[in-house]
Amino acid sequence: MFVCKKNSARSQMAEGFAKALGSGKIEVTSSGLEASQVRLEAIATMKEIGIDITNQTSKPLSDFSPEDFDIVISLCGCGVNLPPEWVTCEVFADWQLDDPAEQPEIFPRVRDEIKQRVIQLIASIEITPVS
């Protein structure tokens, strides 16, 4: 589970990378402390590198149960705002990435940072193929 404030950019890009890079190995989704809309800049920035996230939707964290996830990654420093049951999952990390919604020109840099972290995350976990 990748989680962010509004599930509109960073968590959406992380979900896109994890689905593309972990295809057949992991199941992934994203959500936000509140739902909004997937930002057009996030869609365009991912499309630049060949990953299509146009069918992803913004979802509220409240639609999910923490027991259903082994790994929870906060992308925006919002870990302190998450309900405690999410922070105490088996693996929790808070990547604290800059918000490109506030500075659209940094979308490519944030996207590339997310890609590297997702690659490291996938490499760090013991993967049992998803059937």
Known catalytic residues are 4, 76
Beta bridge pairs of residue 2: 30, 73
Q: Give the list of residues 6+ apart from residue 102 with CB closer than 8 angstroms, or none.
A: none
Residue pair 29/18 in contact by the 8 Å Cβ criterion: no
In the chain, the amino acid numbered 48 is E
Amino acid of residue 15: E
Other residues' Cβ atoms within 10 Å of the Cβ of residue 110? 21
Biggest CA pair distance of the chain: 40
